[in-house]
Amino acid sequence: NEFLGGDIKKSFLHGHSFSANPIACSAALTSINLFNKENTLKKISIISEIHKEFIHKLRNNCNVSKTRILGSIAAFDFNKISKDYGSSDTQKIKKKFLENGLLLRPLGNTIYLMPPYCIKEKTLKECYKKIIAILMWFHTKKQITSMNDTIDKKIDETLKPVSDSITNFIFD
């Protein structure tokens, strides 16, 4: 009797959310039936096993840390990009993923994989092979850029005294 009466203060204003809406109930039952018919829990288990196999490969080859798997979701931190959201590194690697048909968006340096339950084993394994190749490419590219920056700095340091000497000679 808590919600009976004409007083708005006694009304259960969210009743429509909790009152067994027939369309929502039908959709939920259909979803549960489809979940069972399609053997979805088995598919999630297969996805999880593939995650475990490739997360191990990522850890050993791609300078990643904080690997985690929960059912069909896998995540890891790629240590060669900035932790800042929207950094230029994040944007570059996101673009490289998209160019290779991977819809992955790093959040800072964390990369999440959330494949659909209907994904084929072969397809998920191919995705991981692309991810590994891209992370290795990015790591190598950053090393080369860093080496080039170091070389440029050394050249500048070496040439500055020569340049100063020439400038002083010409203008003295």
User: Does residue 120 register a pLDDT over 80?
Assistant: yes
Q: Which two tokens stand for residue 69?
A: 């798997």
Please give the radius of gyration of the chain, using alpha carbons only, rounded to the nearest integer: 28
Q: How many CB atoms lie within 10 A of CB 77?
A: 19
What band does 62 get if pLDDT is binned at 50, 70 and 90? Answer: confident
Would you give the distance in Å from CA 50 to the centre of its chain? 17
What band does 126 get if pLDDT is binned at 50, 70 and 90? Answer: very high
CA 116/CA 121 separation, integer angstroms: 11
Q: Specify the pTM.
A: 0.68
Long-range pairs for 2-6 at CB < 8 Å and ≥24 separation?
none
- What is the pLDDT, as a whole number, of residue 60? 87
Identity of residue 172: D
Angle at alpha carbon of residue 70, lines to 68 and 88, rounded to 5°:
50
Summarised one tens digit per residue, pLDDT across range 49-59 is: 999 999 999 98
